[in-house]
Amino acid sequence: MIEAAHPTRRLYGRSRGKALRPHQSELMAELLPQLALDLSKPLPLRPDRETRLEIGFGGGEHLIDAAAREPDVDFFGCEPFINGMAKLLAGIEARGLTNIRLHRGDAGQILDLLPQASLSRVYLFYPDPWPKRRHRKRRFVSPENLEKLARVMRAGAELRFATDIDDYAAWTLARLRACRSFRWRAKTANDWRAPWEGWTQTKYEAKAMAAGRRPVYLTFVRQGD
């Protein structure tokens, strides 16, 4: 839920799919409140640890594996879709993870509350492409959101972006290359054709590839001011 103390942003798309199973409902009622970020207080950043943010984690496959692989790193995850949140909570419970905090809602709220230069990495994987021209203003990659990301990412931090939609890849490249705060890291074609080391393939990506769509993996580095 969006905290009343903060302005409400309009979220587009579905927030709920098929009915949750009983245990998923229990996790939403009991575990999520323990892990949810309290937007009325300073966000729980630990100065001795890196903090990374995943925007729209879907079913949580990547976030779960990343947090399990690097237990000394803290992860914030944002996702408005209740079914994705329930799946992630089940994974957190099953693997006993203690380094993930969550926000069910708009990632922009978290970006607004984070201190300057507080993130060491941001993940944005397979965001909704909003393919219709009249809806493209809803895409997360926008000058406004890039400005917010630039504020909260430290110099040298990576923004990792993946999509299977050619138009969104071109859209993202155009806007990031026009943003002086970021540099595209690619030097060879393999730098955007191959995923990152330790990559976790999601169910969505597997379906996209089975349908003949080839993902691209873009890495942008936060420039020093």
- The set of catalytic residues is 128
> Distance between CA 223 and CA 14 in Å, rounded?
35
Q: What is the longest distance spanned by two Cα atoms in the chain?
A: 50
Look at residues 186, 179, 191 and name the one whose alpha carbon lies nearest to residue 151.
Answer: 179
The pairing of strands 216-222 and 153-163 is: antiparallel
User: In the block, which residue shows the tokens 């914030």?
Assistant: 76
Q: Residue 123: exposed, middle, or buried by beta-carbon count in 10 A (0-12, 13-18, 19+)? A: buried
> Distance between CA 166 and CA 172 in Å, rounded?
10
> Distance between CA 215 and CA 206 in Å, rounded?
10
